[in-house]
Structure 1
Amino acid sequence: MGVCLAAGPGLAQQASPQGSKAEHTLQKTEDPWWKHAVIYEIYPRSFQDSNGDGVGDINGITSRLDYLRDLGIDAIWISPMYPSPLVDFGYDVSDYTAIDPLYGTLSDFDRLVGEGKKRNIRVIMDFVPNHTSDQHPWFKESRSSRASPKRDWYIWRNGKGSEQPPNNWQSWFGHSAWQLDPATNQYYYHHFYTEQPDLNWRNPEVRKAMYDAMRFWFKRGAAGFRLDAVSRLFEDPNLHDDPILPGKNAYGDPNILHKYTDNLPEVHEVLREMRRVAEEFPGDPVLISEADEPNIAELTKMYGSKNDEIQLPMDFQIADVNKLSAPDFRKLLNEIDRNTAGGQPHYFFSNHDQPRQWDRYGDGVHNDQIAKLMAALLLTTRATPLMYYGEEIGMRTTDPVRKEDVQDPIGKIGWPQEKGRDGERTPMQWDASKNSGFSTAERPWLPVPASSAEYSVRAESQDPGSILSFYKRLLALRRSEPALRNGKYLALDQDNQYVLSFLRQTPGNGDSILVVLNMSAEPRIVRFVLDAHGVREKSVRPLISVPTIGPESTVLTHFTVPAFGVFIGSVH
């Protein structure tokens, strides 16, 4: 396995000794740990299988902690591992205070947290507050009778006339968001799949039960939660129809504006309550929100009017820029940097619901270099960066070629126009062995992409020019340069259509970091006059340049950046 760390009782002894080159510690500062952390999303089914059943698991994650430490990761966010019928691969929860046997046990989780702590890697849980599985005991009791004590834990309504839903609200996955339950002849509301009924967050008993579930994991050492679909927690109690928009959606339904089912004001009351729960525990627990806000103003509200809600709202604005565009990225970086809440930005370019960035931004020729460019953008701004497993080795989106191979329900419903999200969830590519080192099973839950022959941790660890080697250099630089950790962000050359440039400037007399990213297929000349920013030198000292730029090319007043080039340098 090479980089694989054997799971078992002796794992703790394999940590690097104190003071080794690989060691990175969480310095005690006045800033909370999450402000400077690099967070790494793990899709547990696909990271490492430890028992040969073809599905990744908790012990598999534990066996790879040394790899994550050596890469430079400070925290891992793990997609849901709760017991689940797996209609939506864990986002349909049937028990909020247990581990699905497919992934392991609570003891396995405790061991993961403990071994992570030895390596200064925190564990962030995925929490699904909007809905449960229809197999959750709460819902089973709720649907049993109109008089059930838990009837009001979910949203039940009478239909309109003969078998017509209460209104025109639509599910995220197409068609009506209302499902008739024959047992009581009422409809229940589900923003997502039919098997994912929405909880009624206006019920105090629901809130208490969910907050107690959060406390359960905090007590076991969770460092925080990524909160799934939080903007959908509330719906209009008067059931007004959503406005109809022109055209039809991918499922053949009329387009609608989700005016009465998304971002209702009551959401912020719940977020404040969740924050208070988190603050009951030591260690600066973090709350991360998944809320695809339509603009920066709405995103800013997630921090709370008194910075008392979400510490790290995921910025879908910047993640939804699907092309290399210096003006588009610059505009969004400037907007979020000036957010009125003064909150910490949180950027990402890949996750389990989006095509991988190697394909999304690549031009088919320079994809590896563009992958390095996107890494530099993610890891040099003042945001807390969120990586997705495998992006550091250039994993690509590998969609199923046959309907019978599809695992994701979205792909099964929408095939062939919609192939689902399997392509970005394929197994991690570790080495050249069977199933790329992910599993010893005859057939893993998703096929290992053919690209694993060239793009794997083992192969790239031996290549100083690889994407993985670039990530390691960049993450090490981020840890060692105060300006990249604490410096303010200053946009430069703001009319440039091709090159994104900015300065990370430390207070006082420390060095500043100049970041220059050429987002075009041609070399570009840039000119910087930085006197107004306290920079006295006329040249810049290269720290990282890919492709390499010679010393003669680093005069600030006449600076050539190669096609898709990354230049990071120090100025004083």
Structure 2
Amino acid sequence: MRILLLAVILNWNLLSICGDEENKDWWQTTVFYQIYPRSFQDSNGDGIGDLKGITSRLDHLKEAGVGATWLSPIFKSPMVDFGYDISDYLSIQEEYGTMEDFDELIAKAKELGIKIILDFVPNHSSDKHEWFIKSEAKDPEYIDFYIWHDGKPNPDGGRNLEPNNWVSVFYGSAWTWSDKRQQYYLHQFTKQQPDLNYRNPKVVERMSDVLRFWLKKGVYGFRVDAINHLFEVEDFIDEPVNAFDPDPKSYGHLFHYYTVDLNEVYDVVYQWRDLLDDFKKTHGGETRIMMTEAYANMSFVMRYYENDEGTRKGSHIPFNFLMISDLNGDSTARDFAHTISKWMNYMPVGFTANWVMGNHDNSRVASRYGVERIDALNTMLLTLGGVGITYNGEEFGMVDYKNISWKDTQDPAACNTNPDVYQKYSRDPERTPFQWDNTKNAGFSTADKTWLPVNPNYVDLNLKAEKEAEHSHFKFYQKLTKLRQHKTFQNGNIKVQALSKYVFAFVRELRDSDTFVVVINLGANAEEVSLKPFKTLHDKLKVVAAAPTSQYHEGDEVSTDDLKIGQYDSIILTDVNHINNFASKCCGCNMLLISSMLLAWMLALNNF
């Protein structure tokens, strides 16, 4: 009988663990919102967004259900790449305000319960940074703070040739000659953005000091820009040519085996994670986090979570760009189901998923997938679980302004080309000013000319109109952010299934909690589908949320056998008999319990 009792106790513990609610940290379930400061809100009428403008609009983030916001760079900069060329990591860019303005922003955000994350740009500085100026002058302290090279001997005499064939992400050679130092320096982006030398431990420590400075100012972490560019091979060999891109100045002309994704990158990331963890231990408070940006293959991205041995932790949120890189408006339900599962399957056990739909470097969601799918994409973003990341304006469906003239173009990636091809390279269309209302400049600025032109569609598409409408993209977004606070969406399992070419669904389940079903139609036609592939569901489901154009309303009851879903529709359903249904099939625990009980009885009888 003792054996029987032990078996029952052991298996009851197993049953209670399976699917139980976890204690999640603040960042694991929140919605992050990227603000592009230059385009968010202008407070002083100069046509450029600023910190006071952001502070004045933080209530919108609270209203939208956002828990944290990361700001594109606000540091002192010549603005060649609009803040990604930093001349002083410890000062605020004058156009954006003062350190006092930043302190006010932190205080207001704290009052609203919104955490501020800063964009950290470690790969390069501005060529106007004191470090580069001293390095170019061969100051002994800074002589190897950057990547310098003599170049290759010129067989025709004269100045040495460039060290190799490396090209810049922003078009053209990655090497620029310094007359002052009589050497070439490396820049993987613009020539005004020289690459720092992370093989010099002094550089790592100086950048670590930057992190500590802003942590003490009250930020909750950093989004680390272009992290996989941090190291290059030391022998500077040529990169192999990609024959499918014949332009030798194009970044796509080469396969980048020697300038990105080197093993040394991860060690620096692990060091910075230790720094963040140590800061919390020393100063208390909540977890300070790291988000990393690396457009790389999955095996490389996953190493940002932890090292191969699992002994060192790295990024809390290695950005998941699959929704940008692998999917588009032509993608099918099977493509979406596969892509979602791909990230979940690759992700190490015990870590947190994240979903990125858009950002300042890529065409807006509504433009990339089609304006008719914005609600479907926001539904997916906010109900998949883990971290959801929204780019400002996509909560109500802003679109790219593609007709920006060559004269008004600002993006260096485009300006480095020419009037015939600039639109192919420009990121300006997704960076246009935020459309608050239908007044002058969409309520963004009182200036006669804004730094980028406002999309003319602001007269009809603006946040004020969305808030006043009975049904709108924004109101549906609000409903989704509230719904994701439910413990099933925060902690539940997920099962994804393509139901037809354009309709897919996923079930979110959690023991002793509501079961939810999210159904999304990406296609232009209404369809009738069956949810029977999800074996745990009962016959009748109830609508808890539906897209603004849906035929369904909250409280409607539908059948799992013949669910009718309209074109581009997205609905969220709950199982009327959720608790009994899920508990009875939780990971097969009950079957295991019964089997173990029978085994225990047999052992007990044998003992007798």
* Fold similarity call, TM over 0.5: yes
Matched-pair contact (CA < 8 Å) for 1:158–1:166: yes
Q: 1:133-176 CA deviation, whole Å, 9 max, x = no partner? A: 0000000000013x632111101111111231111111111222
- Asked if 2 retains the 8 angstrom alpha-carbon contact of 1:319 and 1:347, the reply is no
Q: CA–CA distance in 2 between the matches of 1:227 and 1:148?
A: 29
**What do residues 436-494 of structure 1 show as CA deviations (whole Å, max 9, x unaligned)?**
11111111111111111111111111102211111111112112x221121121113x4
Residue 197 (str. 1) matches residue 194 (str. 2): yes
Q: TM-score, normalised by structure 2?
A: 0.85
Return the alpha-carbon distance in structure 1 between the equivalents of residues 247 and 431 of structure 2.
22
2:323 alignment partner in structure 1: 318
Q: Which of residues 552, 560, 563 is equivalent to 2:564?
A: 560
Moved more, 126-135 or 100-109: 100-109
Equivalent residue for 2:595? none
Distance 1:339 1:401 in 2: 40
> Could you say what secondary structure the match of 2:95 adopts?
coil
Give 3-state SS (helix, strand or coil) of 2:367's partner.
Answer: helix
Quote how far apart the aligned CAs of 1:270 are: 0.3
* Contact 2:529 2:564 (C-alpha < 8 Å) held by counterparts: yes
Q: Secondary structure at the match of 1:247?
A: coil
CA distance 1:119–1:335, shift in 2 (3 Å): same
Is 1:70 the counterpart of 2:63? The answer is yes
Aligned partner of residue 176 in structure 2, secondary structure: strand
> Does the residue aligned with 1:280 lie in a helix, a strand or coil?
helix
Name which of 497, 502, 512 aligns with 2:515.
512
Question: 1:52 and 2:45 equivalent?
Answer: yes
Match of 1:152 among 144, 148, 155: 144
The farther-off stretch of 225-234 and 546-555 is 546-555
Secondary structure at the aligned position of 1:270 is classed as helix
Summarize the alignment of residues 167-178 of structure 1 with structure 2, pairs less than 5 Å apart: 167-178=164-175
Change (3 A) 1:353 1:249: farther
User: Could you tell me which amino acid in structure 2 is paired with residue 338 of structure 1?
Assistant: N
Mapped partners of 1:115, 1:178: distance in 2: 44
- Equivalent residue, structure 2, for 1:397: 400
User: How far does residue 426 in structure 1 lie from its aligned partner after superposition?
Assistant: 0.8
Of residues 261-270 and 337-346 in structure 1, the stretch that sits farther from structure 2 once superposed is 337-346
Aligned to 1:34: 27
Unaligned runs of 5+ in 2: 1-20, 155-159, 281-285, 579-608
Q: 2:436 aligns with which of 420, 423, 430?
A: 430
- Name the structure with the higher helix share: 2
Tell me the alpha carbon deviations over residues 393-439 of structure 1, each in whole angstroms, 9 at most, x when there is no partner: 22110034421111111222223323211111111111122111111
Deviation at 1:563, TM superposition (A): 0.8
| 2:386–2:490 Cα contact (<8 Å) kept | no
CA root-mean-square deviation: 1.8
SS of the aligned residue for 1:497 comes to coil
List per-residue Cα deviations over 1:182-210 (Å, max 9, x = no partner): 11211111111111000000101001100
Provide the C-alpha distance between the structure 2 equivalents of 1:29 and 1:446, rounded to a whole number of angstroms. Answer: 45
Answer yes or no: is 1:341 the counterpart of 2:348. Answer: yes
**1:302 corresponds to which residue?**
304
Distance 1:265 1:423, change over 3 A: same
From 492, 509, 513, the equivalent of 1:487 is 492
AA in 2 matched with 1:349: M
User: Match of 1:214, as an amino acid?
Assistant: L
Cα deviation for residue 345 of structure 1 reads 1.8
Residue 499 of structure 1, aligned match among 489, 503, 524: 503
1:257 corresponds, among 255, 258, 268, to 255
Q: Secondary structure at the match of 1:503?
A: strand
User: Which of 375, 384, 388 is matched with 2:378 structurally?
Assistant: 375
Q: Name which of 397, 410, 414 aligns with 2:413.
A: 410
* Aligned pairs, number: 533
Counterpart among 115, 133, 139 of residue 122 in structure 1: 115
Moved >6 Å (runs of 4+): 550-553
| Amino acid in structure 2 at the alignment position of 1:322 | N
Q: Which moved more, 1:228-237 or 1:309-318?
A: 309-318
Distance 1:242-1:97 versus aligned 2 partners, 3 A rule:
same
1:525 aligns with 2:528: yes
Alignment partners' CA distance in 1, 2:199 and 2:149: 15
Counterpart of 2:258 in structure 1: which amino acid?
Answer: Y
* Deviates most, 72-81 or 546-555: 546-555
| Match 1:225 to one of 204, 218, 222 | 222
Query: How many Å separate the matches in 2 of 1:469 and 1:241?
Result: 53
Query: What is the letter of the counterpart of residue 110 of structure 1?
Result: D
Give the Cα separation in 2 of the matches to 1:176 and 1:411.
Answer: 15
Equivalent residue, structure 1, for 2:590: none
Confirm or deny that 1:109 pairs with 2:102.
yes
Give a deviation string over 1:350-375, Cα, whole Å, max 9, x none: 1111111111111xxxx2x4111111
* C-alpha separation in 1, matches of 2:534 and 2:205: 56
| Residue matched to 1:447 | 453
Q: Percent of counterpart pairs with the same letter? A: 36
Q: Quote the offset at 1:252 in angstroms.
A: 4.8
Letter in 1 for 2:211: M
Once the two structures are superposed, residues 489-548 of structure 1 have per-residue CA deviations (whole angstroms, 9 ceiling, x without a partner) of 1113x4632112101111x22111100101111112221236743x3x311110112312
- The CA distance in 2 between the partners of 1:227 and 1:516, in whole Å, is 34
Instruction: State the match for 1:24 in structure 2.
Output: none
**Structure 1 counterpart of 2:449, which letter?**
R
State the AA in 2 paired with 1:265: N
Question: Structure 1's 278 and 348: CA in aligned 2 closer, same or farther, altered over 3 A?
Answer: same
Query: Cα distance, 1:298 vs. partner?
Result: 2.1
- 1:358 equivalent among 361, 366, 374: 366
**Which whole-Å CA distance do the structure 1 matches of 2:199 and 2:471 have between them?**
55
Q: Which amino acid aligns with 1:407?
A: Q
Alpha-carbon distance change, 70 to 102 in structure 1, aligned in 2, over 3 angstroms:
same
Q: Which moved more, 1:267-276 or 1:463-472?
A: 463-472
The answer to whether structure 1 residue 539 and structure 2 residue 540 are counterparts is: yes
Paired with 1:396 and 1:495, the residues of 2 have a C-alpha distance of 29
| CA offsets 1:206-242 (integer angstroms, 9 cap, x no match) | 0110000000000011111000000010000011211
- Larger CA Rg, structure 1 vs 2: 2
Amino acid at match of 1:544: A
Counterpart-to-counterpart distance in 2, 1:531 and 1:188: 58
- 1:252/1:151 CA distance change after superposition, 3 Å: closer
Question: Do the aligned partners of residues 523 and 214 (structure 1) sit closer, same or farther apart at CA in structure 2, a change above 3 Å counting?
Answer: same
Which ranges of structure 1 fall in alignment gaps of 5 or more residues? 1-27
Q: Structure 1 length normalisation: TM-score?
A: 0.90
Which structure has the higher relative contact order (CA within 8 Å, separation 6+)? 2
Offset from partner CA, 1:56-97 (integer Å, 9 cap, x none):
100100001111101111001100000000010000000111
Tell me the SS of whatever aligns to 2:234: coil
SS class of match (2:94)? coil
